[in-house]
Structure 1
Amino acid sequence: MKSILPLLCLLIAQFTYAQNISVTELGRYTDGRDGACEISAYDSTTNQLIITNAASDSIDMVDISNPSMPMHMGGIDVTLYGGGVNSVVNLNNGYFAAAIEAVVKQDSGKVVFFDQTGAYVNEVTVGHLPDMLTVTKDGNKVLVACEGEPNDAYTIDPEGSIVIIDISGGVAAVNTSHVKFLTFTDAPTTIAGSIQKPGTTLAEDLEPEYIAVNQTSTLAAVACQENNVLILVDLTADTILTYKGLGFKDHSVVGNGFDATNTDGIINILTQNVKGVYQPDAIAAYSVGGMTYFVSANEGDGRDYGGYSSETRIKNLTLDSMAFPTANILQGDNFLGRLKTFTADVIGDTDGDGDVDELYSYGARSFSIWDETGNLIWDSGDAIEQYIAANHPAFFNCNDGLASKMDNRSDDKGPEPEAVAIGKIGNRFYAFIGLERQGGIMVYDVTNPNSPIFEAFINNFDATSGTMTDIAPEGLVFVPAAESHNGKNMLIVSNEVSGTTTIYEIVDLLSSVMVSAIDAKGSVYPNPTSNELTIEMDSYNKEVQYYLTNTVGQQIEQGVFMGTTTLSLGNLSTGMYYVTIQDATNPSSVWTTKVVKN
């Protein structure tokens, strides 16, 4: 029995960190300058990363043949083509594309094509401020979100657009005839559940931020962050299907609480009479059962320019006395007074009398899943803030990766979920959610879009020093094992503030035997179960030890059997558990599976 305990302790430690997956850091590329690592693309044929570098206005080429020793192999000076690079994407055909803004952001930008060595191939003119680009799954089209951001004085506000570039004939052959602009002149006058700057048309006001494409390359969703709008695009006809306002999150509902102030010096997650405006930054798509789902990182973003700002704080609003009879208390700094909100001319004055009847805040401090028509399927509620509060309180809602700035962002947008990527391992889908201000990556199993399961939190918080190595994840790329040069599932994270790009290996523990010495994998049934659970080791004619644990590694039951045994789960709460099987005479032989008690 003593020989089993060390390995059991190892398993418990592992499950405290991750339920179904294990995460191993393979290596890190470090530039170290703020903005040096923002968006990455991966090329398996050259074993390299292509990284946007705003610190030097370049695109860096980094060899990761050995992920533990990334090597900078050269770069591209993007000032030869414009004012700065905002996004890159590998086209998987020997080329990659870059979204390059004009020297004056309000002018038309470019998409420039390069070969794998970084040599210039071709370019086309696109819309104002191309902020993000992606390629369809079939490799035939490059889609560009052109934000159309105003100048600081807000005297010039170019229209945003979505640009579709047909590359099916090869990037060298692309010209203006292969470029289609989708503008918003046909947009309705107003969109329910959206945010609009007063005195503007939607064509002027909509600012595309991010694009996700479905698996069949027939549908795209375009997030307009500041507007809280999702634009759905038919990629067969290359036309806009609909404009969908994402609506608002009710923070008064239990499970939707948040910490609203940075002045009390404590963690205080409460429900509030406030509505969150989702305003997603990154979005990603995946398909289950023939249906497309979009996952959004609900960061939130205001308009704050020299010539116009939609941002204020709740203490600066004039609140309706009927709706808020205790406004003098509510607007105190230790309550809601410090919370960033919208000016009354944008939203909140429901009866037009000049005072505010409803309170709104930027972002939803969560990630959400939407169906292919833009309807909300699921939201993570206050789970992100609750998890950090329980497990990493020294860094709760911190800024710049510093424990000394704990609680600093509570009055703004909290942990600020910004980046998202979807990875499929075996038959499971995982969502990776990057927290820009908080730091770290939340991992959820989203195989069932209606009921995601928390899996892990990837981070390098150092409570002793009060710092973290990787700060402000901006871009995430998931590389499945079948498409990686090393045969491993890789998550590549570009961290803007720390100027680092970190490479992780992701392993689905339940898709394989943890240690392969058990040569006859067992069966656990029925699963899910409401009462009895049978463990059958098939033809494994040796005595085995079993452990039943919960999701945080606490042991519930253990025993020894050979062949078949039955466990009674009738007295357990509904939820998820783990059965670990270990060869009683060879403790290096282990197999683990998940069990659902209903």
Structure 2
Amino acid sequence: MKSNLLVAASALALTAGAAHADMTFNRIASFETIGNMAAGEDTNRATSAEIIGASEDGMTVIYTDSPLGVVGLIDLTDPKNPKAKGNVDVGGEPTSVTVIGNTAFVAVNTSPTYTAPSGKLLSIDLKDGSITGMCDLGGQPDSTAHSHAGDLVSVAIENERDEDLGDGRVGQLPAGFMVNVGVKDEALLCDSLQKIDITGLAEISPEDPEPEFVDINSLGEIAVTLQENNHIVILNAAGDVINHFSAGAVDLTRIDTVDERAALIFDQSQMGRLREPDGMQWLDDHHIMIANEGDMDGGSRSITVFHKDGTEVFESGSDFETAIIQAGHYPDKRSDAKGAEPEGMEVGTFGDTTYAFILAERASTVSVYDVTDATKPVFTQLLPSGIAPEGVIAIPSRNLFVTANEADLIEDGGVRSHVMVYELSDAAAQYPTLTSEGTDTLIGWGAISGMVGDADVAGKIYAVNDSFYGYQPTIFTIDATQTPARITDALPVTRAGHVAQKLDMEGITLDGKGGFWVASEGRTDRVIPHALYNVNADGEIEAEIGLPAELMSVETRYGFEGITKVGDTLWMPMQREWEDDPKNTVKLVSYNIETQEWGAVRYQKAEPATGWVGLSEIVAADDYFYVIERDNQIGANAVIKKIFRIPAADMVPAPLGGDLPTVSKEEVRDLIPDLKSYNGYVVDKIEGLAIDAEGEMFVSTDNDGVDDSSGETFFWSIGKM
């Protein structure tokens, strides 16, 4: 049975591997923005790295942090070890930054209301963080850019609309405009400030332009996107409009436009979708590239290249999302909105190659394109970023680029905002570690939970997704002999010929007959039963086994996390304590397939420093059972991400409801150093463990379906055990 998540894949993304040059970008470091807070400051306050710039020598980066009302400085002398240089209070909400030499020019929103917009442009010395100048902008600023000669800063004064007013559409005055400010010897010349009227140009609400993003080419020509107006304006250095044109629309196919079904099905289309570009960059003196995020009505999920005369020369269409889908980063919960949302952008020339770096806000990725020929962009790499990348700066002189990632999930106990550093070097691409690239059809995936190795074929792994994709329970086949590991097939799990509902697959093992046993964690509050399922080779559920009364009488939310089979007995770890478990212990539950008898042993887990500690996988091999024990902490707070082994001789189940023997355990591997080697933040969910036919052990992480997550999935081998 073929899955309906398989549709024709684009040649652009599927052949991307062939386009990779010997030089590749890899992430080399991350900087948590709370590191810039002074001693004694409340680090429980939200921070956010949004727009980012760099000094001329590339040794210092500066980012805007609107929640704190500051700009943050980072010492990048050693790019693999970024160091805090502190925050500078800017007296408002910083919206953008551009750097000339060693001076940062920061736009600051000081508007008391939407109808009384105001703002200022500050100059800040990056050596000591001192504010050296200030110009009143006369409105609410958004983006900034500077001329190649360093004698001009251009500011987009958005005067953004109130989205809660009426129907939230443009047509809300005061109108936005552009501002040019002269610069001499890195000092602001406020007396030269020029206000540039750009009303009457766009077809959509010409009376109310909302300029969004600005960039300047080497000829001094200023390009600006009017996002909600779906328009692009080209000015000369004197502020004259030399051209303007609609950003137009695009027909999209092979996309997912529905999120309610919790499934990755790329068989929909949208015709005539307005682009509504956000980020924009000159690729050379004649062509601009736009990132079509959308906002009010549009969002084509694509990137487009225009000649400055308004001629469209390249359109990615849905190909922009293809590599994101293949790497497991597609944000399904945004399917009914704007998908991956390409937003921020940067262009830099490294040696003889010019690259465009396009940020996908909702997928938390960087798509790298070779744009040496501006009319024929070629996709080369997909890189992971922090959550919700907003800004990016290229530092070609040091073979670096740096991203600013705005999401700070402190309120949800999640990861903090980060700045991330990438280097171009003669090295293999470290990411992705798991991909569906290379198949004849497009396979979407995410939220990988349990895994098991094939009994006969080395490097062949089976994995399941969890209830995040409630309408698409799937068994994936992974070829781990390739780098990156490849998902080669996706088998839907069915019941009576239809997609099986009410599953939370957290473990998979072989049944010895060509099929599988699957453990469903279950949640009674969501009417998902705790159960075991026997699934045949075609994906059809042949048997369902519910939990006995002795277990259900003490049930809590956190159930089976993993499953393995030894002889006629299935073993399943409970993730956390149930009502009859002593503190910091969990059951390893057994079920004999032939006798239908249940039993258990007890496992002593670590005392959590913060949050909770639980089990998330089990696999048996030779004379041991291996389990993953982890805390629910993320980033700098992560402490316990480990593999332990239990002697098989200890796994003698006792009847449920009575005293249970406690097994012994031995630490096999601390996985935190492995996770740190990817140079991002330490993810929380180590969920998959498998041993292949030759005894090699593989580990994987669960990316939560890119929901409040960076979307990163790490799949790696830790060798033969």
Above 0.5 in TM-score? yes
Identity %: 26
Q: How many angstroms apart in 2 are the aligned matches of 1:433 and 1:133?
A: 18
Tell me the residue number matched to 2:147. 136
The structure 1 residue matched to 2:122, chosen from 108, 112, 125, is 112
Verify: 1:438 aligned to 2:363, yes or no.
yes
Q: How many angstroms apart in 1 are the aligned matches of 2:61 and 2:375?
A: 34
Q: What displacement does 1:280 show?
A: 1.0
The structure 2 residue matched to 1:85, chosen from 69, 79, 94, is 94
Verify: 1:502 aligned to 2:420, yes or no.
yes
Tell me the residue number matched to 1:158. 174
Q: How many angstroms apart in 2 are the aligned matches of 1:301 and 1:224?
A: 11
Q: Compared with structure 1, are the counterparts of its residues 20 and 127 closer, same or farther at alpha carbon in structure 2 (3 Å cutoff)?
A: farther
Deviation digits for residues 108-130 of structure 1 (CA, Å, limit 9, x no counterpart): 21111122222121111114210
The structure 2 residue matched to 1:377, chosen from 301, 310, 313, is 313
The number of equivalent residue pairs is 392
Verify: 1:264 aligned to 2:200, yes or no.
no
Does the aligned pair in 1 maintain the 2:247–2:277 contact within 8 Å?
no
Does the aligned pair in 2 maintain the 1:15–1:552 contact within 8 Å?
no
The structure 2 residue matched to 1:220, chosen from 219, 222, 225, is 222
- SS of 1:232's equivalent in the other structure is strand
Q: What displacement does 1:553 show?
A: 12
Does the aligned pair in 1 maintain the 2:69–2:93 contact within 8 Å?
yes
Tell me the residue number matched to 1:101. 109
- SS of 2:320's equivalent in the other structure is helix
- SS of 1:142's equivalent in the other structure is strand
Q: How many angstroms apart in 1 are the aligned matches of 2:57 and 2:21?
A: 33
Tell me the residue number matched to 1:62. 74
Q: What displacement does 1:457 show?
A: 0.4
Flag the structure with larger Rg. Answer: 2
- The aligned amino acid for 2:209 is L
Q: How many angstroms apart in 2 are the aligned matches of 1:451 and 1:439?
A: 25
Q: How many angstroms apart in 2 are the aligned matches of 1:17 and 1:449?
A: 16
Q: How many angstroms apart in 2 are the aligned matches of 1:222 and 1:126?
A: 17
Structure with more contact order per residue of length (Cα contacts < 8 Å, sep ≥ 6): 1
Q: Scaled by the length of structure 2, what TM-score is found?
A: 0.51
Tell me the residue number matched to 1:148. 159
Q: What displacement does 1:63 show?
A: 1.1
The structure 1 residue matched to 2:340, chosen from 415, 420, 438, is 415
Q: What displacement does 1:437 show?
A: 0.3
Deviation digits for residues 285-309 of structure 1 (CA, Å, limit 9, x no counterpart): 122xxx521111110012xxxxxxx
Q: What displacement does 1:385 show?
A: 2.4
Q: How many angstroms apart in 1 are the aligned matches of 2:129 and 2:396?
A: 24
Q: What displacement does 1:216 show?
A: 2.6
Q: How many angstroms apart in 2 are the aligned matches of 1:507 and 1:169?
A: 35
Q: Compared with structure 1, are the counterparts of its residues 382 and 552 closer, same or farther at alpha carbon in structure 2 (3 Å cutoff)?
A: farther
- The aligned amino acid for 1:247 is G
Q: How many angstroms apart in 1 are the aligned matches of 2:270 and 2:394?
A: 38
Deviation digits for residues 400-453 of structure 1 (CA, Å, limit 9, x no counterpart): xxxxxxx10010000000111112122221111111001111111112223221
Q: How many angstroms apart in 2 are the aligned matches of 1:60 and 1:265?
A: 38
Q: How many angstroms apart in 2 are the aligned matches of 1:44 and 1:215?
A: 17
- SS of 1:384's equivalent in the other structure is helix
- SS of 1:388's equivalent in the other structure is helix
Q: What displacement does 1:170 show?
A: 4.9
The structure 2 residue matched to 1:493, chosen from 399, 403, 407, is 403
Verify: 1:167 aligned to 2:183, yes or no.
yes
Tell me the residue number matched to 1:478. 394
Tell me the residue number matched to 2:379. 454
- The aligned amino acid for 1:150 is R
Map 1:246-285 → 2, pairs under 5 A: 246-251=247-252, 256-270=253-267, 272=269, 274-285=271-282
Tell me the residue number matched to 1:50. 62
Q: CA RMSD in A?
A: 2.7
Deviation digits for residues 361-416 of structure 1 (CA, Å, limit 9, x no counterpart): x2110111111123211011111322233332xx32x2xxxxxxxx1001000000
Deviation digits for residues 224-268 of structure 1 (CA, Å, limit 9, x no counterpart): 111110011011x321223311111122xxxx4321111222222
Does the aligned pair in 2 maintain the 1:149–1:157 contact within 8 Å?
no
Map 1:398-413 → 2, pairs under 5 A: 398=331, 407-413=332-338
Tell me the residue number matched to 1:364. 300
- The aligned amino acid for 1:223 is T
Q: Compared with structure 1, are the counterparts of its residues 42 and 216 closer, same or farther at alpha carbon in structure 2 (3 Å cutoff)?
A: same
Q: How many angstroms apart in 1 are the aligned matches of 2:305 and 2:351?
A: 21
**Structure 1 segments of 4 or more deviating over 6 A?**
551-554
The structure 1 residue matched to 2:214, chosen from 211, 214, 221, is 211
- The aligned amino acid for 2:29 is G
Q: How many angstroms apart in 2 are the aligned matches of 1:450 and 1:64?
A: 34
Q: What displacement does 1:107 show?
A: 2.3
Q: How many angstroms apart in 2 are the aligned matches of 1:122 and 1:390?
A: 48
Q: How many angstroms apart in 2 are the aligned matches of 1:503 and 1:440?
A: 13
Q: What displacement does 1:72 show?
A: 1.6
Q: Compared with structure 1, are the counterparts of its residues 17 and 23 closer, same or farther at alpha carbon in structure 2 (3 Å cutoff)?
A: farther
Q: How many angstroms apart in 1 are the aligned matches of 2:380 and 2:130?
A: 41
- The aligned amino acid for 1:166 is G
Deviation digits for residues 65-88 of structure 1 (CA, Å, limit 9, x no counterpart): 122222222221122xxx311011
- The aligned amino acid for 1:300 is G
The structure 1 residue matched to 2:29, chosen from 27, 30, 33, is 27
Does the aligned pair in 2 maintain the 1:146–1:207 contact within 8 Å?
yes
- The aligned amino acid for 1:234 is N
Q: How many angstroms apart in 2 are the aligned matches of 1:298 and 1:20?
A: 30
Q: How many angstroms apart in 1 are the aligned matches of 2:48 and 2:31?
A: 11
Tell me the residue number matched to 1:238. 239
Tell me the residue number matched to 2:323. 387
Q: Compared with structure 1, are the counterparts of its residues 447 and 509 closer, same or farther at alpha carbon in structure 2 (3 Å cutoff)?
A: farther
Q: How many angstroms apart in 2 are the aligned matches of 1:243 and 1:102?
A: 30
Does the aligned pair in 2 maintain the 1:128–1:149 contact within 8 Å?
no
Q: Scaled by the length of structure 1, what TM-score is found?
A: 0.61
Deviation digits for residues 490-510 of structure 1 (CA, Å, limit 9, x no counterpart): 110001114100011023789
Unaligned stretches of 5+ residues in structure 1: 1-13, 197-201, 303-341, 343-361, 399-406, 461-469, 482-487, 511-550, 555-598
